[in-house]
Structure 1
Amino acid sequence: MTPFTQKVIAVIRSIPEGYVMTYGGIARAAGSPRGARQVVRILHSMSRTYKLPWHRVVNVKGEIALTDDESSSLQRLYLLGEGIVFDAKGAIDLQRYQYHPKFEDELQLE
């Protein structure tokens, strides 16, 4: 596993209940500001294995990026269950709910 992948996993694990991060925000926190697509790949391939809170990751517009109806409905349900509110267009207010790791360089790598 690459160091970037380890950092991405650590960042995603650090997202607290009731907050979200964007794919790009996770990439930046993991040290690769242009690595958003890699974050997508890591989430897709490693969420189950590492028990990642995949539902707390949204796109830069605060929207659920999954196109599969079942998966996007499940993500929305999980986020609503954590107290996250969606606007009429289905977006999350990132000013209110976006998580910013305070000590990006000190995230625990397991």
Structure 2
Amino acid sequence: MPNFDDQIYAVLIQIPQGKVTTYGDVAKMAGFPRHARHVGKLLGSLPKDSRLPWFRVINGQGKISMIGERFDRQREKLRDDGVEVKDNGTVSLRRFRWDGFPV
């Protein structure tokens, strides 16, 4: 059976610059449908200096789930990445969602 963490990381590194995906999408693409919360926990436990593009993953409502300083950090990283993020942390999934296919 594939290792959950490794499968999630394998999907994560494929998310293109300027795109976002959801926790649920990552879980499904990794072969673990219905494990969105586990994806969130895993990403939340990454070291602060992780080079994985964790910030490209948002919730299914198209919003940043982080709060406080982590919210600000993710919003700025997404903006630097070319994703339009409203001040309240909302991203247009219609425009910026990555579906798992090559861009």
Matched, 1:102 2:101: yes
Q: For residue 56 of structure 1, report the CA deviation from its aligned partner.
A: 0.6
* 1:3-56 alpha-carbon deviations (Å, 9 max, x no partner): 222110110111111011100000000111111111012112235586211111
Q: What TM-score do you get using the length of structure 1 for normalisation?
A: 0.80
- 1:19–1:99 CA contact under 8 A, matched in 2: yes
C-alpha separation in 2, matches of 1:76 and 1:4: 27
More helix by share: 1
Q: Structure 2 CA distance, aligned partners of 1:26 and 1:88?
A: 25
Q: Quick one: distance in 2 between partners of 1:3 and 1:49?
A: 23
Deviations 1:40-82 (A, max 9, x none): 1211223558621111110001111002x11111111111112
Aligned to 1:17: 17
Is the Cα–Cα contact under 8 Å of residues 18 and 78 in structure 2 kept in the other structure?
A: yes
Q: How do 1:36-55 residues align onto structure 2 when only pairs under 5 Å count?
A: 36-46=36-46, 48=48, 51-55=51-55
State whether residues 24 and 36 of structure 2, in contact with CA within 8 Å, keep that contact through their aligned partners in structure 1. Answer: yes
Which consecutive residues of structure 2, in runs of 5 or more, have no partner in the other structure?
A: none
| Secondary structure in 2 matching 1:14 | coil
Q: Residues 22-101 of structure 1: matches in 2 within 5 Å? A: 22-46=22-46, 48=48, 51-67=51-67, 69-87=68-86, 89-101=88-100
Residue type of the alignment partner of 2:45:
S
In structure 2, relative to structure 1, the CA distance for the partners of 1:5 and 1:49 (3 Å cut) is: farther
